[in-house]
Chains A and B, each alone.
Chain A
Amino acid sequence: MRSIDGAVLDLKRLDLLATGDSIIHRLDARAKVVTTLFFIVMVVSYKRYALAELTPFLFFPVITLALSNLPISYILKKIAAILPIAIFVGLFNPLFDREIHAVLGPISISGGWISLVSIMGRSALTVGSAIILIATTGFISICHALNRLGIPRVFTVQLLFLYRYIFVLTEEAARTTRARELRACGKKGLGFSSFGPLIGHLLIRTWARAERIHMAMVVRGFSGEFHSRQINRFGRNDYLYVIGWSLVFIILRSKDITAILGAACTGLFS
């Protein structure tokens, strides 16, 4: 279980990364959202045993990562953190899918192992691209982008609220649990009997807080939506980014670049 403070720090770190400045940071959020989504759909559209074909898709996260000045080790750690989950969900494949698909010298490889590795690769690619998206764009810009892409305002406005108050409430939850752990002296007291009232109190405090927030906002003229000062224009770079990458993905999806490269190479040496 991850500690609450750790989770909050993690969230803040991702949020701070988005305030950086680079070519990728300066792109319109819509361009990045659409491209990332298209990337994920393309990666996921491969068949169960696809492995080598997936590798060229690494270019997208690697290039954006390199251009965006994000701390590489941090992003890699975030990706590595989800791989155990990917292994867990793919673990059944080697058990159920034992048909031999490839023989490498004395070792025969079943389809299940290939698909397990494929699932891990897919996970790394899709999660990596999502993390890069959030770390170069920031949540608030993503919300505005979603809005301009047609998601209802009610939804995005309360999404922004939720994001803002996650920081406040997780810190409160962290203080509460710290107090509880300090008084629990070991394990007893972390049980169920104290849990219900604890959460209940947190809920009631939250409710009261929401009422205060609402009053304060009404006083300041809140009418159901946020207005943002910066108006992002969908410029030339944004078009280039979306169209360029989409073309690359389409070509990669339709032509097995890896096989072509490999074939050219093995052909060269034989």
Chain B
Amino acid sequence: MHMADALLSPAVGITMWGVTAGTIAYCSTKVKKDLDDRKIPLMGVLGAFIFAAQMINFTIPATGSSGHIGGGLLLAILLGPYAAFLTIASVLVIQALFFADGGILALGCNIFNLGIFPAFIAYPLIYKKIIGRQPSPTRLSIASIIGVVVALQLGAFSVVLETVASGISALPFTTFVALMQPIHLAIGLVEGLVTATVVSFVYTARPEILQSAVESRPLGNISVRNIVLAFLALALLTGGILSWYASKNPDGLEWSIAKVTGADEVTGTEQSLHHVLAAIQEKTAFLAHYAFPAKQGGEATTEIATTGKEGQDNSGQLGTSVSGGVGSLLTLTLAVLIGFFLRRETAGTRLKAEG
């Protein structure tokens, strides 16, 4: 459920980057305050462990497919929420950079979806409550399974929200929810079961690891009220930002989002650059004018149909799809040629330098 950049709008991506960066800063100060410098190598090495463990699969009986461990809740159990959040975030950073598993702009969303819920919801509100003061293997198992399932359900739901708010995918909200939640219920059950066996195993083999994790944590007793308040504030903030953008432009959320984050900046710069670029603009305007009658009076082999609702949206690129197509081809050829040329040039200079 790693989101890709391609389905994201800048507003959603940047908002979630902000939220995630804030949480990382907050968790970092918390971890630093812990004054347990043993923790930093432990976080890194456990992160690498999650990475390695996710590559080990097991066959799920009767389905033929394979599953692997989730990791979020396990890290929270071993490290506590703050350190766990940072570690999950780092695992996702590496997955995004090296395996293109989730995009760079989508990192904010992915860290939020896969980090916040296990560390700050499932761990303190479900896992801790179920195991109570006296952990037992049964309690540990039940707590792990329910914790993972809930975290994954919440994560999947926010994937839906972020995707729909971005408006690149055409999937309607209800269909998307109906697809995502059951799939992630199944995945959650499997991952929960795995987490439960690993936690029980560690509990029997090295109980002091879990014990120390439970005790050394004054952060274990985060109150429900604080978390609810924090989330309320977060929701209000996000909603506020998004709706402010939306209300400024009635053409739909998605359009205005793109406009505000990407294009507003652009038009602003364009305005200020206007005088400098006047000559170029004149020229481009002339070219555009020059081409329009040619297209309208064109050979009619290619006919453009722009339809009602999306009309304004499309007139930008589909209304000019002939010139768009030709232009794309030209640009592609040009790009490849430039690349080829530069490549030869750099190779040439290198040879000269070596020879």
Contacts and interface: CB of A to CB of B under 8 A. Distances in A.
A40 B104 contact: yes
Interface centre among B24, B292, B310 (most CB of A within 10 A): B310
A201 B221 CA distance: 30
A151 B324 contact: no
Interface in B243-298: 254-255, 258, 261-263, 265-267, 269-270, 284, 287-288, 290-292, 294-295, 297-298
Given A41-B262, A69-B346, A126 B105 contact: yes
A101 B306 contact: yes
Given A45-B261, A123-B4, A155-B24, A105 B57 contact: no
Nearest to A129: B104
B69 interface: yes
A158 B302 contact: no
B169 A102 contact: no
A22 B322 CA distance: 39
A136 to B, nearest CB: 12
Nearest to B326: A262
A47 B332 CA distance: 21
A119 B7 contact: yes
A165 interface: yes
A130 B202 contact: no
Interface residues of B: mostly helix, strand, loop or mixed?
helix
Contacts of B134: none
A222 B100 CA distance: 33
Interface string A172-213: 111011000000000100111011111111111011011101
Nearest to B304: A102
Contact of B314 (A63, A101, A222, A250): A101
B96 to A, nearest CB: 7
A115 B168 CA distance: 8
A260 B288 contact: yes
B44 interface: yes
A157 B40 contact: yes
A58 B313 contact: no
Contacts of A104: 302
Contact of A41 (B13, B167, B318, B339): B13
Contacts of B58: 190-192, 194-195
Contacts of A243: none
Interface in A31-59: 36-37, 40-53, 55-56, 58-59
Interface in A251-270: 253-267, 270
B44 A96 contact: no
A172 to B, nearest CB: 7
Interface of B: 4-10, 13-14, 21, 24-25, 28-29, 31-32, 37-38, 40-49, 51-53, 55-61, 66, 69, 86-87, 89-91, 93-94, 96-100, 103-105, 167-172, 175, 193-194, 197-198, 200-202, 205-206, 209, 254-255, 258, 261-263, 265-267, 269-270, 284, 287-288, 290-292, 294-295, 297-298, 301-307, 309-310, 313-314, 316-318, 320-328, 330-332, 334-336, 338-343, 346-347, 350
28 contacts: A4-B56, A44-B262, A45-B262, A46-B262, A47-B254, A47-B258, A48-B170, A48-B254, A52-B327, A58-B335, A66-B343, A119-B168, A166-B52, A172-B52, A173-B53, A174-B55, A192-B194, A202-B49, A204-B209, A206-B45, A214-B37, A259-B324, A262-B324, A262-B325, A262-B326, A265-B330, A266-B295, A267-B287
The 7 closest A-B pairs by CB, nearest first: A161-B44, A45-B262, A262-B327, A196-B197, A263-B291, A262-B323, A200-B201
